[in-house]
Structure formats: structure tokens, C-alpha cells
Structure 1
Amino acid sequence: MNKWIVLTALTLLLAACSGKDKVVENEGISGGNGAVNEEKPEKVTNVEPEKNKVEAGNLSDFFMEDGAVAQFTGDGIEFSSYRTRTEWLDDTHVNVYEDNGGIEMIKSYRLDEDKIVVLQERPSENEDDKVTLEDLANMEPNKTYLSFPLEVGTEIDVWKVISVDDVVETPLQKFTDVLVLEEKFDDDSYNRSYFARGYGEIMREYHSEEDDAPFKVTSVLESVE
């Protein structure tokens, strides 16, 4: 017998047996016409978390602890140095009292599910000016402070995210994974705010060109008590 005929017959026999096995294995998932619906196994891959995106996490991480007093050292103009005091009223409402030696500002925030909103920003009326939870109860947000998730290019009101992994050296310590927001103006000048989890805003910058000369004002975290 021709060897090619033998090999062909053997191949057909093996194919028939293999097909029969498939029907048995897939019994119960075949279609109504007796056809077999073979389900391909899903390809499993190791998915790494997105490194260029900042999720909300614990929003309270973008403020200091209750009672924390922070000193920011400034350069460029008078009053660029200032001191802040953080006051938590409950788990979702926080006041930050900011004093630059010329004026004290009161900034009140509310933490929502995936964003932080500003309820008020106003000058303190006197030394004993305090904001209570009752004062904030009926206040509507006047702007968004931070909203999540964040990635480069995200816009929050007049601000745009330009980095989520910056490295910032301060007199207090070196910070990594710093979130940077930028506000640009028509004359190409801009403000930048830098945020680090566990501290909140750690630095502010203003840049401009005046008479073809660069002008810069900075305020950077120096100490926390």
C-alpha cells in the first residue's frame, strides 16, 4: 500500500477522534443545532496601576492635621512669607487660617466624594474671628479646589494639571509625587501651586517677564508644628 495513502487515512482518523472528544467535553454548551460553541479562554495579563493618574484616596490627606501650624518662607515680594493654622470642624469641613503679617485670610473647605470645594475665602474681620460648622452649613461652593481623578491636562476651573509626579525640595524635606497645578494669564505670566499628600499645598510660585527680565515670587513650606 502506498505510504501516502496510509498517512492520509491515519490523519483523518485522528481528526475524527479529536472532534468527538471536543463534543463530549463541551456537552451542555453546544447550540440548538448541535454545533459546538467553543469559548476561548480570556487572556490574562498583569495590569499595572496607572502611574500618571492621581485617584481621590483619602481627601483629608490634602490638608494638614487639626491644629497644625505651618510656616512658609517667601521670596520676591513683601508678604510672600506666611503662616497657616489648620482647623478641622468635622470629617468633611476644614478651615485654614492664613496670616502673612499684613492680612489674615480665612479659607473654608468641604470634602465631597471625589472633590474638595471652597466654601469661602475672606479676610478675617478681627483677631477673634472664627468660623463654625453652623456658619458653613448653608454655604454653597464658590469654586472647586481639587477634583479627582487627576492627570496631566485635567482642568479645574482656571487651573490645569501640569504634573502629578514632580519632585520638590523644601526647607522642611524633599517631596516626591507632587501634584502641580498652573494658572496661565494672557501675558504668559502664571501661578503654580504644589500639593503633597499628608501636607496639602507645600509651595506657591508666580512667574512673569517684566521689561524682558524674569520676575518670580515663591512661598515654600519651611516648618510644621
Structure 2
Amino acid sequence: MKKWFLFAAMTLLLAACTDQDDTVKEDVPSGTVNEEQPDDTSTSDPDVEQAQELSEYFLEDGAVAHFKGDGIEFSNYKTRTEWLDDRHVNVYEDNGGVEMIRSFRLEDKKIVILQERPSEEEGDTVTLADLENMEPIKTYLSFPLEVGNEIDAWKVIAIDEEVETPLQTFTDVIVLEETFDDGAYNRSYFAKGFGEIKREYVSEEEDGPFEVTSVIESIE
């Protein structure tokens, strides 16, 4: 049962690691929403291209996603995505009990977490200046994403999963898993163009399986 608390912590802190239609995400990088793109693409910058590729694992600037939960009270939550530039993004997660702030940086072939903490007050925000000198506390995703690859305590167990959600059915979903000695596990599901679309915790208890899930339901 102690792993239930770990899942609850994951729900609050997002200790892990998640195809959007054209009405939600336009054909521009997530970090540069509504900016005009240069007409001349003959001399592309590899670093810019990589940043654009990594940005596909987050929603666009200002997007609010609602997640439907089952199993515990705080498995329902919503997130708001805030791009500070093309490499730094904040995700504010509110489950009705606490709002967590998670800050990310897009680096060479990986996305790292710079901080994850509860909001200190209503309207608490994080600026680019706040993040400039922060060192990563963990890796969120590292590339290439291939079955068997390990990302800190997590392992990539699938890259082509089909996942049904209230929002839509996703294909080519990436699944990361964290396992425990007693057989319990956490799983996190990612879809390109969205990021994390589902969280799952499963354990075997004396009275049968115990499962907690959070799955994406809508985006505004």
C-alpha cells in the first residue's frame, strides 16, 4: 500500500514521465506560438530543429488540459503550459488540493526537470531569469526513445501503444514504467504533439488489485 503514496506523490509532483488535432496545435513550434516563420528554410539550424522536435512533448503556450482521474481523490487535475522561450517551459498542475510548478529545459537530445515544487502563493509564477542558473534535478525524457532504454528510475517499455482516452484514441504512444520490489508499478504515457496523456499506478493488495489512473479528457 505504500506505493499508493508514491503514486499520490507522482500525481502531485509528476515524478515521471506522456496526436493532437490541428484545431489544438498548429504547425509551429510549441515555444513560438503565433510567431511568423521565415520563408527561407534552405539553411536550417540543427539546434533549432531539435528544440522544435523536443517541444512536441508539451502542449502549446497557454493550453489548459483536464485529466480525468479514478482511484483516489487527487487523481483529477488540470495543467497549464507556459513557454518562456524556445527551450524553457513551465507546467502548472492543479489537482484541487495543491498547485505544483514544474519547470523544464530542452537540452541536447533530452528534456530535463529544473524544479518541481508547490506554489508558494496564489498567482505564483516562474520567470526565465529564475531558471537561468538552475541545474537539472532529473531527466524527464531522453532520446532516442527505444524499448529497453532507461531514464533514471524509468524504463521505456513501448513506443507504439494504442491508448483510448476521453479526448481521442492515440497511436504510437510511448510508455515508461517504474517498478517496485513488491511488483507494483507506475506507468506514464506520452503522445507526440501532446506530451503526457495518462498516468497509472497498479499494485496487488490483499483484497485484490489497486489501480489509480489519470487520463487526458479535454484541452482548452
Q: For the superposition of Structure 1 and Structure 2, which TM-score range results when normalised by the shorter chain?
A: 0.7 to 0.9
Paired position in structure 2 for 1:151: 146
Give how far 1:109 is off.
0.2
Which of 56, 61, 81 aligns to 1:86? It is: 81
Give how far 1:80 is off.
0.3
- 1:23-172 matches, cutoff 5 A: 58-172=53-167
Which of 177, 184, 189 aligns to 1:189? It is: 184
Paired position in structure 2 for 1:22: none
Q: Contact 2:51/2:86 (CA < 8 Å) preserved in 1?
A: no
Which of 208, 211, 214 aligns to 1:216? It is: 211
Which of 198, 205, 208 aligns to 2:200? It is: 205
Give how far 1:57 is off.
7.1
What code does the residue aligned with 1:221 have? Answer: I
- Distance (Å, rounded) in 1 between the aligned partners of 2:125 and 2:51: 29
Compare relative contact order (CA 8 Å, sep 6+) and give the higher one, 1 or 2.
2
Flag the 1:187–1:135 CA change in 2: closer, same or farther, 3 A. Answer: same
Q: Which runs of 5+ in 1 are unaligned?
A: 1-54
What's the TM-score, normalizing by structure 1? 0.74
Identity among equivalent positions (%) equals 74
- Distance (Å, rounded) in 2 between the aligned partners of 1:91 and 1:56: 7
Give how far 1:121 is off.
0.5
- Distance (Å, rounded) in 2 between the aligned partners of 1:184 and 1:157: 12
1:123-167, Cα deviation, whole Å (9 max, x unpaired): 011112100000000000000000001211100000000000000
Q: Which runs of 5+ in 2 are unaligned?
A: 1-49
Paired position in structure 2 for 1:5: none
Secondary structure of the residue aligned to 1:79 is: helix
How many positions carry a matched residue from both structures?
Answer: 171
Secondary structure of the residue aligned to 1:172 is: coil
Give how far 1:113 is off.
2.1
What code does the residue aligned with 1:87 have? Answer: E
Secondary structure of the residue aligned to 1:98 is: strand
- Distance (Å, rounded) in 2 between the aligned partners of 1:70 and 1:57: 21
Flag the 1:167–1:57 CA change in 2: closer, same or farther, 3 A. Answer: farther
- Distance (Å, rounded) in 2 between the aligned partners of 1:177 and 1:56: 21
Give how far 1:186 is off.
1.1
| Structure 1 segments of 4+ aligned residues over 3 angstroms from their partners | none
- Distance (Å, rounded) in 2 between the aligned partners of 1:199 and 1:205: 17
- Distance (Å, rounded) in 1 between the aligned partners of 2:128 and 2:200: 32
